[in-house]
Chain A
Amino acid sequence: MILDSKIPEGPLAEKWSRHKFNIKLVNPANKRKYDVIVVGTGLAGASAAASLAELGYNVKAFCFQDSPRRAHSIAAQGGINAAKNYQNDGDSVYRLFYDTIKGGDYRAREANVYRLAEVSVNIIDQCVAQGVPFAREYGGLLANRSFGGAQVSRTFYARGQTGQQLLLGAYSALSRQVANGKVKLYPRTEMMDVVVVDGKASGIVTRNLITGAIESHSAHAVLLCTGGYGNVFFLSTNAMGSNVTAAWRAHKRGALMANPCFTQIHPTCIPVSGDHQSKLTLMSESLRNDGRVWVPATKEISEKLRKGEITANDIKEEDRDYFLERKYPSFGNLVPRDVASRNAKYVCDEGRGVNETGEAVFLDFRDAIKRDTEELIRAKYGNLFDMYQQITGENPYKVPMKIYPAVHYTMGGLWVDYNLMTNIPGLYALGEANFSDHGANRLGASALMQGLADGYFVIPYTVGDYLAQTPYAKIDTDHPEFQKAEQEVKDRISKLLDIPGEKTVDYFHKRLGKIMWDYCGMARTEEGLKKAKSMIKELKTEFWSNVNVLGGNEELNQSLEKAHRVADFLELGELMIDDALNRNESCGGHFREEYQTPEGEALRDDENFAYVSAWQYVGEDEEEVLHKEPLVFENVKLTQRSYK
């Protein structure tokens, strides 16, 4: 199989404009003859569905929550990047492009990333026009803050609720199209399969989560905007329902899965407090603008702290190790996420952790409060501080926050070309569900940017190019392929319900999560990965013989919903391990202990691994086949990332 990324010819800065000019258009009057399915109503899905409906296409939009407004994007806190250079601090499209490529440790496509930076400026305009209340300065203009991995202030925000405000903006645009009759909404509906007829995506099979009805929907194109798969780790900052099912079913129908092992572990999350924990809570990275990360200088002091003999405020200045500022003087607390996370792990491994479990470091606002007053800090981060206090029972204005890294985002996802189309014609992947723009590590505030870039400004053009070459006649849902797919979904449901098992679905999910965290988390080794692979195989077998899925299909059945998702996570977990094993280098969030510089930084191997790994499913219990898309860098020079 040859992977054609369809990157347009020409100089980097002209590729997207040239491409937009060269691709085919659907005449306005003919757009109503095409149906598009959009699965997912997060930033990517809602913006795509609204924009396509505005153009005149007939759109069906699906989500598993009770309302499109509740997609996981709602939870994003810190902000969205855009190369507006409103601060006059030296930002530009090229700088945003460069920061993103470098931040991703040179494992993303230049052309895609440049386009992302280019359209970033339009996103902010669009959102403001919709009535998104971004933070403003006293003069009435938009405010910015800085974020990890960048030395300019280009992040737009709405207090600590940026994702909410952006999503509500996209949701309002979507709602308007529902009112116009151009979008039909299917909430509480889960996509169970993609239907491929004659090699082209022709529709999907869904389960109505209230009635259990299995239904087919056909369309000329299918867009998967179904988010990331961080919940393979059980504990993550993702919403409880976030899952890989849609992407995974597409994968099993032939869509390639790219860089599945590239996972982002976010440095600033509230540490695990006990076995009952169902999810982890992120404390926005923006806090690193004003908070200083530290641990005690010695193990002995940490021990006293853990025993409760002293508190953080008792520790003298000279006994504090601000390890990020010490090791990375120029970026300090604002180093990229992978670097910050790994360093937190190192100091905790040395026995210098600051809570009972030994897995936490301080994020301290004492100096910022002294400098700026408590009032100003409250205005910037009030809701985050409140949330922290609610969850932990501690007051971060008085004692430093405790934080630890947690799984947060998945850079890997469905392989797509420059048009965001998977290798299955007519099947697209947008937002976190694709692999396209963040390489091996995503910079803060770039996921919101990517989701909205894909949905508002890329797909409206690229899907038109495909549809213009597609006949109006649609495959009917009584086509044998739809019937077959429906039957397979029904069989799988019966199979799950019929297993005479004893263990709950969560029991398996937790075990899978622990294997993934221990062996495919912040640090990975060949030996550990191999062990994990056999553990997952065993767990999978046990799942299919000993899981107990309660209730029936023809009802609202949350244990059946979860069972489907966990079954898919088990298969994905194994592929992530394969991918991590194959990549004999360290890059970004993928840190193989065997490959590091003497200072403990990720050691890339550009000669052998400057490629996208794209995995092909070939059959139940068979090893997946690896395809490589070489990454060509014509504009940036590959260097060892340095944030010193």
Chain B
Amino acid sequence: MNLTLNIWRQKNNVDKGGFREYKVSDISKDMSFLEMLDVLNEQLAEKGEDPVHFDHDCREGICGMCSLYINGKPHGPLQTTTCQLHMRSFKDGETITIEPWRAKAFPVMKDLVVDRSAFDRIIQAGGYVSVNTGGVPDANEIPIPKRIADEAFDAATCIGCGACVAACKNASAMLFTSAKVSQLAMLPQGQVERKERAEKMIAQMDAEGFGACTNTGACEAECPKGISITNIARMNREYFSAVVSSENV
């Protein structure tokens, strides 16, 4: 297939940036979207032009490193990561517009590469169980009903890609934050710090400049891991029960 690509180019995080048009030809339907960009980059490199920079690593849909806002949708037309999107989802002759994630809390570093360290800081604010290495009970000492373990697992599969933020008109990070809060709130191991955790993580989320949640559900619809919006409801419950009894207010 032959394609026209309309790609956001930006030299660094102070440059204003803008779109540039490129053509690629002989693209196979079996290629992944990133392999298509590899082809473009080889072309550019051969001409001595700076390749289009984009983030990626595992190319298996699990590390959460790849991003890209493709034709107005995070990770493109399917509910998957960009590295798992294949060219069979596009038509010959199509024009594809490719942009970086757009959110105040995710500044663009170059071309399609953004800084998502705000997510790390949200986890640092409380996305853990405070146990040190060693001295913990036997793994089978606390049975956990399978249903609960499975639900906690579902929340835990968030890959931290940021598509939820990119999809949201307010650039809210509620889905990401609530996934971690929920996972730990459901498990017995997470109980001790439950209230404090929700409070602290939400405070950090706000401090990073993510927007408010207005329940449009755009995040859930675009999340490549199918993280459910019910996690947001759960986090809200955690939060309100926390602030009612908090020492930090």
Contact = CB atoms under 8 A, between A and B. Distances in A.
A135 to B, nearest CB: 7
A240 B140 contact: no
Contact of B140 (A131, A141, A159, A172): A141
Given A122-B134, A179-B124, A276-B28, A130 B38 contact: no
Interface residues of A, number: 80
A548 B51 CA distance: 12
B58 interface: yes
Contacts of B46: 502, 504
A101 interface: no
Contacts of B58: 70, 72, 74-75, 239-240
Given A66-B116, A66-B117, A504-B45, A175 B57 contact: no
Contacts of B130: 176
B115 A133 contact: no
Contacts of B134: 122, 126, 456-457
B48 A178 contact: no
Contacts of B65: 65-66, 70
B110 A137 contact: no
A504 B86 CA distance: 24
Nearest to B110: A556
B95 interface: no
Contact of B63 (A65, A122, A210): A65
A239 B88 CA distance: 23
Contact of B55 (A66, A132, A179): A66
B247 interface: no
Nearest to A210: B109
Interface stretch (B142-150, B163-171, B213-221, B237-245): B142-150
Contacts of B248: none
Contacts of B140: 84, 86, 141-142
A173 B133 CA distance: 9
B5 interface: no
A559 B42 CA distance: 10
Interface in A37-94: 47, 50-51, 54, 65-70, 72, 74-75, 84, 86
A558 interface: yes
Interface in A113-129: 122, 124-129
Interface in B172-206: 183-184, 187, 189-190
A556 B53 contact: yes
A171 B123 contact: yes
A463 to B, nearest CB: 13
Contacts of B156: 131-133, 158, 165, 168
B77 to A, nearest CB: 13
Contact of A175 (B35, B39, B64, B120): B120
Interface residues of B, number: 75
B200 to A, nearest CB: 9
A164 B144 CA distance: 20
A131 B50 contact: no
A456 B133 CA distance: 6
Given A50-B133, A136-B144, A276-B31, A185 B120 contact: yes
B94 to A, nearest CB: 18
A125 B139 contact: yes
Interface string B90-129: 0000000000000000000110010111011001110111
B139 A128 contact: yes
Contacts of B88: 393
A21 interface: no
Contacts of B64: 69-70, 74
Interface stretch (A244-252, A277-285, A573-581): A277-285
B133 A504 contact: no
Given A133-B149, A390-B86, A241 B184 contact: no
A480 interface: no
A550 interface: yes
B152 interface: yes
A140 B146 contact: yes
B123 A390 contact: no
A555 B110 contact: yes
A631 B175 CA distance: 53
A247 B183 CA distance: 36
B71 interface: no
Given A137-B146, A391-B84, A555-B12, A125 B137 contact: yes
A506 interface: yes
B129 A131 contact: yes
B63 A70 contact: yes
B20 interface: no
Interface in B20-35: 28, 30-32, 34-35
A171 B63 CA distance: 13
B249 interface: no
B60 to A, nearest CB: 5
Nearest to B200: A179
A172 B128 contact: yes
A134 interface: yes
A390 B35 contact: no
Given A178-B120, A387-B60, A556-B113, 5 more contacts: A54-B133, A66-B115, A75-B60, A128-B136, A550-B45
Ordered nearest first, which 9 A-B pairs have the shortest CB separation?
Answer: A140-B143, A172-B128, A129-B136, A133-B153, A128-B139, A51-B133, A70-B63, A556-B110, A136-B149
24 contacts: A66-B65, A66-B117, A67-B119, A70-B58, A84-B140, A122-B134, A124-B139, A125-B139, A128-B189, A131-B183, A133-B156, A164-B157, A171-B123, A210-B110, A240-B58, A241-B57, A276-B28, A278-B32, A281-B60, A282-B60, A393-B86, A393-B88, A456-B134, A556-B109
